[in-house]
Amino acid sequence: MSLCIAGMGWVTPLGSGLDSVWQRMMRGDEAIASKIAGPFETSKSYSAFRVPADALTDLPAHPRLRRASAISRFAVAAGLAALKEARLTIDRDIIDRTALVFAVANGGVSYTKRFYHDIVQAGASAASPLLFPETVFNAPASHLAAVLGLTGASYTLVADGAAGILAIRMAEDLMADERFDYCLVVGAEEADWVLCDAYSKWRLLRSEPPIEPFHKRPRGTVLSEGAGAILLARKGVIGIKKVHPGGNFFRRTAATQWTAKVLSGLDCETATVIISSANGTFIDEAERTALSQMRCKACVYSPKAALGESVGASGIWQIIVGAQALLTRQLPPLLHSSMETGINQTAAGTRADENIVLDCGMNQQIAGLRLTAKAENSSCVEG
């Protein structure tokens, strides 16, 4: 079964608004990093790409959002934008025919850190009952469902950087049931010092931008935050032709083999563009080697130098980039990547009508999908 993209929305460090962020990316803009200070006196500070405050100006004044964490706000803003783009209102007729899948890797880290920090500093009696409910992984999905009035199926899917595509796969599984006409897939993440410190301890982070995709010696990534949302339907102008279910690599050295398997399953030799997850870490080498092994000649683009590595949101951002490339027949320039990478990085104009989006996560999971341009609002249902 394949599905269509009926609407898209995103909240990114380059702002929100599908077209405005896209235009900035096409101009070669990249997000500006800011420093995040730690909770302890001796804490090192880290660079991260944050969402600018004006990116959330359209957020409704809903009671659920009064105390909600940043990740919930990002998720709601992106979800509403996707519905708006699809001109879809969740009314009584479709409320039971719409599912929600929320993808996340790290979740409401800021509130979790604040909640536990109080316990560490002053004991259990200092724990805040206001913060705790916001620490659960499905709090953003709950807020989004409440804002939209959704009362049916809602799933929060936790994974690594592959979360976005795994969520699309889960949505595809859900929509195998004909009771559903729509599935809103949202991926979100918020940046916090504790996450930066953790990724630094994993030797995956670099202290300052830029992210240099496919550099011969991986120099590390820079975390970012935001959300991406895709409304899946049975009709639309962008089709999701195939979602590879992916797999898990138990050692980093096996990432190449799994990437090649996913590329092979998506017929990469016939794709003209690959939206890669290269982020300045070991992922880049895994993807480059797999692309070479598969003799894949496609033009490769990673949005992470421009938008940062937002883990749970990144996969959805990549799909949106892939869809925009099909719709506009253009691709932004791959930033901070030298020509010696062995990667085909022809930028700007592209005649692509089928793209592959590849998500190799940093914690053992990998998945991919293939997008295709459809005739205006045609059906995506096969078989």
Partner 1 sequence: MAIVGAGIVSPLGTGLTETLHCLRNARDCVTPVTRFPVDQCRCKTAGQIPDEWLEGSAKGRRVQRLHRVSHMMICALREALESSPQFKPELTVIGTTSGGMSYGENYYRSLDRHGTARRSPTWLSNYPPQKPVLDAQEAFNISAPCQVIANACASGTNAIGHAFNCIRSGKYQRVLTGGYDAISELVFVGFDSLQAATPEKCRPFDRERSGMVLGEGAAILLLENWEGAVSRGAKIFGEIIGYGISTDNHHLTQPDPSGIGPRRAMEGALRSAGISATQVDYINAHGTATAFNDAAEAKAICELFGRVPVSSTKGMMGHSLGAAGAVEAVFCLLALQNQFLPSNINFRRPDEDVDLDIVANEARPASPRTVLSNSFGFGGTNASIVMQKTDA
- Residues in touch with partner 1 (CB under 8 A): 1, 40, 42-43, 64, 100, 104-105, 112-113, 115-117, 119-121, 123-125, 127-129, 132-139, 141-143, 145-146, 149-160, 166, 169-170, 173-174, 176-177, 194, 197-198, 201-202, 245-248, 250, 363-365, 367
Nearer to partner 1, 151 or 207 (CB): 151
In whole angstroms, the minimum distance from the beta carbon of 120 to partner 1 comes to 5
Output 57 or 125, the one with its CB closest to partner 1. Answer: 125
| CA torsion, ordered 228, 367, 166, 78, to nearest 10 deg | 0
Nearer to partner 1, 168 or 321 (CB): 168
Closest distance to partner 1 from the beta carbon of 252 (Å):
11
Q: Least separation, in Å, of the C-beta of 183 and partner 1?
A: 13
Task: Determine contact, residues 174/183, Cβ cutoff 8 Å.
Answer: yes
Nearer to partner 1, 293 or 363 (CB): 363
Q: Which residues contact 70 (CB under 8 A, 6 or more apart)?
A: 51, 110, 190, 225
* Residue 84: other Cβ atoms inside 10 A: 15
DSSP letter string over 304-373?
A: HHHH-B-TTTHHHHHHHHHHHHHHHSEE---TT--GGG------EE---SEEEEEEE-TTSEEEEEEEEE
Query: Which residue's CB is nearer to partner 1, number 107 or number 332?
Result: 107
Q: What is the Cα–Cα distance from 127 to 206, expressed in whole angstroms?
A: 33
User: What are the start-end ranges of the H helices in 176-218?
Assistant: 193-201
| Under 8 Å between Cβ of 189 and 106 | yes
The residue with tokens 């659920």 is 64
| Residue 1 CB, nearest approach to partner 1 (Å) | 8
Distances in whole angstroms, Cα of residue 87 to Cα of each of 84, 195, 323: 5, 36, 18
Compute the least distance from the CB of residue 38 to partner 1, in Å. 8
Whichever of 57 and 129 has its CB closer to partner 1, that residue is 129
Between residues 303 and 361, which has the closer beta carbon with respect to partner 1? 361
Question: Rounded distance, CA 329 to CA 318, Å?
Answer: 16
CA distance 152 to 145: 9
- Give the shortest CB-39-to-partner 1 separation in angstroms: 8
Structure tokens at 342: 């062995």
Q: How far apart are CA 356 and CA 28, in angstroms?
A: 22
Residue 64 sits at the vertex; the CA angle it makes with 63 and 68, to the nearest 5 degrees, is 120
Tell me the one-letter amino acid at 55: A
| Closest distance of CB 192 from partner 1, Å | 12
Q: Measured from the CB of residue 351, what is the shortest distance to partner 1 in angstroms?
A: 32
Q: What is the DSSP string of 74-119?
A: HHHHHHHHHHHHTT----TTTGGGEEEEEEESS-SHHHHHHHHHHH
d(CA 263, CA 257): 10
Contact 51, 332 (CB under 8 A): no
- Minimum Å distance from CB 236 to partner 1? 21
Min CB(335)–partner 1 separation in Å: 29
Q: Which is nearer to partner 1, 93 or 177 (CB)?
A: 177
